A and B are shown apart, each in its own frame.
Chain A
Amino acid sequence: MDNILNQIGIENYIFLSVVLFCIGIFGVLYRRNAIIVFMSIEIMLNAVNLLFVAFSTYHQDAQGQVFVFFSMAVAAAEVAVGLAILVSIFRNLGSISIDNLKNLKG
């Protein structure tokens, strides 16, 4: 498999993943809009997926790619539920800022 991986090098994939993951983390921590938070989580997820696929190719092992399929399927389901929750929050509070969700406390 003389492919793009060899031309770019595995370490660049790792850097990209780390950068994406950090972007995700900071997005989660700093943004107040629930949808942006959501997107940040997706970015983190996909950073991990990318790493999976990269290593899968590097090790010549398809398992990593199979796992990514699962991960994406679960992520899709999670997004569907999460967005549904967001819609209902918006209907109730008229806003989707996560600061408005303080009344969830026990």
Chain B
Amino acid sequence: MEMDTNLALLLVLTPFLGFLINVFFGKSLGKTVSGAIGTVAVAISFIVSVLLFNQITSTGKAIEVTLFDWIQISNLKINLGFLLDQLSVLWLLFVTGIGSLIHLYSISYMHDDENIHKFFSYLNLFIFFMITLVIGSNLLVLFIGWEGVGLCSYLLIGFWHKNQDYNDAAKKAFIMNRIGDLGLLIGIFLLGYYCNTLDYKLMYESIHYRATLSDESFTIIPLAALCLFIGACGKSAQIPLYTWLPDAMAGPTPVSALIHAATMVTAGIFMVTRLNFVFDLAHDVQNVIAIIGAITSLVAATIGLVQTDIKKVLAYSTVSQLGLMFLALGFGAYEVAVFHVITHAFFKACLFLGSGSVIHGLHGEQDMRKMGGLRKAMPITFWTMMISSLAISGVPFFSGFFSKDEILMTAFHHSIPLYVVGSVASIMTAFYMFRLMFLTFFKEFRGTEEQKHHLHESGSLITIPLIILAILATFGGLISLPGNSWLNEYLAPLFTKAAGEEHHLGTTEYTLMGVAVVGGLLGILIAYIKYFKQDNVPESDENITGVAKVLYNKYYVDEAYNAIFVQPINALSKFFRDYIETGLSALVFGLGKVTNKIAFQGRRLQSGSIGLYLFVFVLGMCAIISYIFLAQ
């Protein structure tokens, strides 16, 4: 028990220590040392995660660590404790694993930045909060982590804070997340009110006990589930709160890979999976989740079709994939969603890091129209990104094939329309990913001569993480093969029902697989014809017309939000400033002025002539005495 506590503390506190060192001494340590400290701190956490994972797979029992009683109000008791079970350890593995790789990558990627120590301190802080979020034993600890990663996301999106656009993007991300967080907080309050505890295990027992009573107050559960889902929408970029994620690409590319693709944005899925016993009791909310997930997936995919910024394409792809995960969550197929979270973390991190490598090689160019032909100059980047693109497109035997297929299969068994929506989104995914690949790596280079001259493969600190991630993206699917899923068995203790319905591999399943594969290949083929055979290059901004223009401008959602929410609030603020505040200050200052005037006149009474004072004093005395006598 003592041992477990120490391990858990080591796990959490090493990144925090890394953060402290980098924040206070980073500048004097030098760039490489600062980066090395950040990387080692996360790597230690990763090793601890592996140890914990071993322990849990061998004993099959969750590790519970209670540090101390935190809050105690009447009979509501909240501990600061950790729950290391199958789910949280799985999350830890890829958070710290991919985290270490991305730290390693950042040493090289951020080397020219003068504030590199700040960058690493934020990254470490992020890992610290993410671990807190994942291993907390109750919702309040989760909430701390939840807010913490939001803060780090804000800091890192606005890392290059001299650019006002980037600052705006950071603020947008923060504010959008706050809207979601309010939902989460209300959800936590409702659950706390209903269960009288925030601890997951106690909550589970309480809810199942009270569900049997079927009293009136049970309606709180769907309400709480809906509020929690709003929180998840904010963090995991679902409609209507998704617009911050594409803008978040303003941050350095490693940040996009770590926070906005692999880890933080999956926090919403983690939370829903963690509270599966709540969502299982709220079927209407589950339907809402599935529908929102499917719509998000489709909408983001369509926008991704025409984007020209390499990171924006990946960002919309992330939103779209997250939508697919929520689709699975909505059907109660939690293990399927978790599976896709993991494979997605691998290939999307790889894609982002690859795009970072490209951007690095082109000295900051992100527009795909000015790329092309990079295959020869950057072979490692090309091949790793190719593998990941195949994975995300669902080409057989790469990891994405298995996870996406399971989601679509689940959808097919529950709702045909949503299955169709998900499939269309998948085909689009294949198309825009290969559009990205063809535009970036094939044909002739379209940039300037000078850039062409400097084209080179990135250093080994960049390519090694890419290679590792590409290997994971290839073989990651093995953890959950259809019909023989290690992952489903591993996660089984978490779920109330028997680990989803195991699909028997019948004709339907093979047909569905076939359809998915053909769809994916179709998408790739269209991209091949359009951008390789016909050698199309997307038009420059002003020449885009028709539907493409709507898509290119992201359905004008930002503009709509601006008109519906931002402008009225600004107008209201202006009204308050111009009228209400002016009125109030006139009142307050007026009172002050009147007092001042009176005092100025009264000052003259103090003439300094003592004789006069005495005279007035006697006069007053006489007046008082005569009043007393005359009044009687």
Give chain A's interface residues, CB within 8 Å of chain B. 25, 28-29, 32, 37, 98-99, 101-106
Contact = CB atoms under 8 A, between A and B. Distances in A.
Interface string B589-632: 00000000000000100111111001100100000000000000
A93 to B, nearest CB: 13
Contacts of B609: 99, 102, 105
B618 to A, nearest CB: 6
Given A25-B618, A28-B618, A29-B618, A106 B603 contact: yes
Interface of B: 603, 606-611, 614-615, 618
Main secondary structure of the interface of B (DSSP, over half): helix
A23 to B, nearest CB: 13
Contacts of A99: 609-611
Nearest to A105: B608
Contact of A98 (B606, B611, B618): B611
Given A37-B614, A98-B611, 20 more contacts: A28-B614, A29-B611, A29-B614, A29-B618, A32-B611, A98-B610, A99-B610, A99-B611, A101-B610, A102-B607, A102-B608, A103-B608, A104-B608, A104-B610, A105-B606, A105-B607, A105-B608, A105-B609, A106-B603, A106-B606
Contacts of A29: 611, 614-615, 618
Contacts of A103: 608
A86 to B, nearest CB: 12
B589 to A, nearest CB: 24
B629 to A, nearest CB: 14
Main secondary structure of the interface of A (DSSP, over half): helix
A85 to B, nearest CB: 12
Contacts of B608: 101-105
Contacts of A106: 603, 606
Nearest to A103: B608
A105 B172 CA distance: 62
Closest 4 CB pairs of A and B: A105-B608, A106-B606, A102-B608, A98-B610
Contacts of B606: 105-106
Nearest to A30: B611
A61 B610 CA distance: 39
Contacts of A25: 618
Contacts of A32: 611
A32 B614 CA distance: 11
16 contacts: A25-B618, A28-B614, A28-B618, A29-B611, A37-B614, A98-B610, A101-B608, A101-B610, A102-B607, A103-B608, A104-B608, A104-B610, A105-B606, A105-B607, A105-B609, A106-B603
